[in-house]
């Protein structure tokens, strides 16, 4: 039984990029819980092992980008 108190959302609806306070954040680093805008979509620690990578959208999108570029 999981309890989710009504009226309490884990995330505010309009989050902003950690690097660009003026830009809305579209994604979030799963490891650091950092909101990132389109421009900042990149793994925060690409050299470090990250156990969240398999579920991290940021990492996934960065991977896709590199795949597209490295044709």
Interacting residue ranges for Zn ion, rule: CB under 5 A? 17, 19-20, 37, 39-40
Between residues 44 and 49, which has the closer beta carbon with respect to Zn ion? Answer: 44
CB of 19 to Zn ion, least distance (A): 4
Task: Report the alpha-carbon distance of residue 67 to residue 37 in Å, rounded.
Answer: 20
At its nearest, how many Å lie between Zn ion and the CB of residue 35?
9
Choose between 3 and 59: whose C-beta lies nearer to Zn ion.
Answer: 59
DSSP assignment of 26-40, as one string? -EEETTTTEEE-GGG
Between residues 2 and 18, which has the closer beta carbon with respect to Zn ion?
Answer: 18
DSSP code of 3? Answer: -
């Amino acid at each position: 039984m999981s309890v989710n108190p009504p009226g309490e959302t884990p995330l505010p609806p309009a989050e902003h990029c950690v690097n660009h306070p003026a830009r809305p954040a579209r994604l979030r680093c799963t490891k650091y819980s950092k909101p990132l805008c389109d421009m900042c979509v990149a793994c925060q620690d690409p050299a470090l092992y990250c156990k969240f990578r398999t579920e991290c959208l940021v990492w996934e999108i960065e991977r896709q980008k590199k795949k597209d570029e490295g044709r």
